[in-house]
Amino acid sequence: MNYCPNCAAELEQAQHDGESRILCSKRCGFVHWDNPTPVVAVVVETDDGIVLAHNKNWPPKAYSIITGFLERGETPEQCALRETEEELGLKGETAEFIGFELFNGKGFSGEEFNQLIIGFYIRASGKIVLDENELDEAKIISREKLKGWDTATGRIVQRWLETQTAT
């Protein structure tokens, strides 16, 4: 973003209420808050194990739980169930909340993210049919072999695993 969406003046980095922000250079009142985008991430488990998927744009060995943007008017639980069906072709009844994580930084495909990840667990059934616009492969891992990894989605997996060993 280079220009103010209100008045089209240039934007600049400046102090605002004690924080460095991107502001309108004419001080029309516009502040680029850079708020994180809410994204749902889902640990999907079938009778065979946990489903991890590979995005077409990722390096060959990078797999993750599925994610998706929250849509207008949708609860995070509804979003998690919808994404599970759209991306994997699997159906679940309920989405259990796992926790929140912040995703600030580069993703597997190199772009910068600023997201609030809302983690859910869904017990799902059906036959996997991948959304070919996004995903090109899926693999199933047993609970015992599943490990978290050092990204926001990996930490959601880690948190879920911790709740499983605690019971």
> In which element (H, E) is residue 132 found?
none
Beta bridge partners of 24: 11
Least distance CB 93 / Zn ion (angstroms): 48
Instruction: Using CB under 5 A, pick the residue from 11, 23, 24, 40 that binds Zn ion.
Output: 24
Give the residue carrying structure tokens 């869904």: 122
For Zn ion, the binding residues in 27-46 under the rule CB under 5 A are 28, 30
Q: Does 6 bind Zn ion (CB under 5 A)?
A: yes
Instruction: Using CB under 5 A, pick the residue from 1, 2, 3, 7 that binds Zn ion.
Output: 7
| Residue among 18, 27, 22 nearest 1 (CA) | 22
Least distance CB 91 / Zn ion (angstroms): 48
Across 6-144, where does the E strand assignment appear?
Answer: 11-16, 19-24, 31-32, 37-46, 49-55, 66-69, 91-92, 96-106, 112-125, 135-141
Tell me whether residue 13 or residue 125 sits nearer to Zn ion (CB atom): 13
Residues lying near Zn ion in the complex (CB under 5 A): 4, 6-7, 9, 24, 28, 30
